[in-house]
Amino acid sequence: MNTKLHAITDQNGRPLSFFMTARQISDYTGAAALLDSLPMAQWMLADRDYYDADWFRDALEEKGIRPCIPGRRSRGKPVKYDKRKYKRRNRIEIMFGRLKDWRRVATRYDRCPNIFFSAICLAASVTFWL
């Protein structure tokens, strides 16, 4: 089973919302799906490789959220972003690490994506309060 998990976290790195896609599906599909469930925030951190798109930046600014996403290296015109805030992106990676502390999530025992997603949600609800 090849899946990709897209997540929204709060400023403390606690999971708020998830969306799972097949591995071969574009990351912009997950970004578009989670766009409506974004909480009120001043700024958003995201990975440059997956979420650097002009339409995504425009959609964030329409919601009143300032994107803190560096541009890809192949981008012709560089994008300005706050480097100090971007260093806090490790909180997102820590959240994924906490989910992988659950053996069932880390080893992906479940073949059915729905059951695997349920295990992720269960692990996320527990780690939210820890």
Instruction: Provide the residue ranges of all domains of the chain, joining segments of one domain with +.
Output: 3-129
Q: What is the pLDDT of residue 89?
A: 86
Q: Are 123 and 96 in contact (CB under 8 A)?
A: no
- Segments of the chain with pLDDT less than 70: 1
Q: What is the pLDDT of residue 124?
A: 92
Q: What is the pLDDT of residue 1?
A: 61
Q: What is the pLDDT of residue 123?
A: 92
| Whole-number Å distance between alpha carbons of 60 and 46 | 11
| Whole-number Å distance between alpha carbons of 33 and 76 | 27
Domain 3-129 CATH assignment equals 3.40.50.1100:
no
